[in-house]
Chain A
Amino acid sequence: MNVRAPASDLPLMLRDVAIVAGEVTILDNIALTFGVGPPTILIGPNGAGKTTLLRAAMGLIAATRGRISWGGRESAPPDRRAILFQRPVMLRRSAAGNVRYALARAGVPHAARAKRASELLADVGLQGLERRPARRLSGGEQQRLALARALARDPSLLFLDEPTASLDPAATKAIEDIVRAVSARGVKVVMSTHDLGQAKRLAGEIVLLHRGRLIEQAPASEFFARPRSEEARRFIAGELLV
Chain B
Amino acid sequence: MTGDGSALHMVLTGDPALLAIVKLSLIMSLSAVVLAALIGVPVGAFFALTRFPGREVAIVALNAMMGLPPVVVGLAVFLALSRSGPLGSWGLLFTPQAMVIAQTILVTPIIAALTRQTIEDLWAEYRDEMAAMNVGAAGRIATLVWDARFSLVTALLAGFGRAAAEVGAIIIVGGNIDGFTRTMTTAIALETSKGDLPLAIGLGMVLITIVILINALAWGARRAGERYAR
The answer to whether A and B assemble together is yes
**A89 and B129 contacting across the interface, CB-CB below 8 Å:** yes
CB distance from A163 to the nearest CB of B (A): 14
**B132 and A78 contacting across the interface, CB-CB below 8 Å:** yes
Across the interface, A89 reaches (CB within 8 A) one of B126, B139, B228, namely: B126
Chain A residues positioned under 8 Å from B131 (CB to CB): 60
Chain B residues positioned under 8 Å from A127 (CB to CB): none
Interface size class on chain B is: 10 to 19
Across the interface, A135 reaches (CB within 8 A) one of B128, B139, B230, namely: B230
Q: With the chains together, A91 CA to B130 CA distance in Å? A: 10
| Secondary structure dominating the interface of B | helix
Q: With the chains together, A78 CA to B139 CA distance in Å? A: 16
Chain A residues positioned under 8 Å from B229 (CB to CB): 92-94, 133
**Count of A residues near B, CB < 8 Å?**
23
Interface centre among B132, B133, B135 (most CB of A within 10 A): B132
CB distance from B12 to the nearest CB of A (A): 43
**B139 and A136 contacting across the interface, CB-CB below 8 Å:** no
CB distance from B135 to the nearest CB of A (A): 6
Q: With the chains together, A83 CA to B129 CA distance in Å? A: 9
**B230 and A105 contacting across the interface, CB-CB below 8 Å:** no
Chain A residues positioned under 8 Å from B228 (CB to CB): 94, 133
Chain B residues positioned under 8 Å from A121 (CB to CB): none
**B134 and A78 contacting across the interface, CB-CB below 8 Å:** yes
Residues of chain B touching chain A, judged by Cβ–Cβ distance below 8 Å, are: 125-126, 128-129, 131-135, 139, 143, 147-148, 227-230
**B230 and A60 contacting across the interface, CB-CB below 8 Å:** no
Chain A residues positioned under 8 Å from B128 (CB to CB): 60, 85, 89
**A133 and B230 contacting across the interface, CB-CB below 8 Å:** yes
- Provide 28 A-B residue pairs closer than 8 Å at the C-beta atoms, listed in order of the A residue: A58-B132, A60-B128, A60-B131, A77-B134, A78-B132, A78-B134, A83-B132, A85-B132, A88-B129, A89-B125, A89-B128, A91-B147, A92-B147, A92-B148, A92-B229, A92-B230, A93-B147, A94-B228, A94-B229, A101-B143, A105-B134, A105-B135, A133-B227, A133-B228, A133-B229, A133-B230, A136-B230, A153-B133
Residues of chain A touching chain B, judged by Cβ–Cβ distance below 8 Å, are: 58, 60, 77-79, 82-83, 85, 88-89, 91-94, 101-102, 105-106, 133, 135-136, 150, 153
Q: With the chains together, A85 CA to B143 CA distance in Å? A: 20
Q: With the chains together, A58 CA to B134 CA distance in Å? A: 11
CB distance from A60 to the nearest CB of B (A): 5
Chain A residues positioned under 8 Å from B134 (CB to CB): 77-79, 105
Chain B residues positioned under 8 Å from A92 (CB to CB): 147-148, 229-230
A91/B230 contact (C-beta < 8 A), A60-B132, A105-B134 known: no
Q: Please name the residue on chain A nearest to B131 by beta carbon.
A: A60
Q: With the chains together, A88 CA to B227 CA distance in Å? A: 21
Q: Please name the residue on chain B nearest to A105 by beta carbon.
A: B133
Q: With the chains together, A101 CA to B147 CA distance in Å? A: 12
Across the interface, B132 reaches (CB within 8 A) one of A82, A93, A133, A136, namely: A82
Chain B residues positioned under 8 Å from A135 (CB to CB): 230
**A105 and B147 contacting across the interface, CB-CB below 8 Å:** no
Q: With the chains together, A165 CA to B206 CA distance in Å? A: 57
CB distance from A83 to the nearest CB of B (A): 5
Interface centre among A77, A79, A82, A83 (most CB of B within 10 A): A83
CB distance from B51 to the nearest CB of A (A): 17
Q: With the chains together, A82 CA to B128 CA distance in Å? A: 12
Q: With the chains together, A78 CA to B129 CA distance in Å? A: 12
Chain B residues positioned under 8 Å from A89 (CB to CB): 125-126, 128-129
Q: Please name the residue on chain B nearest to A135 by beta carbon.
A: B230
A102/B133 contact (C-beta < 8 A), A92-B229, A93-B229, A94-B228 known: yes
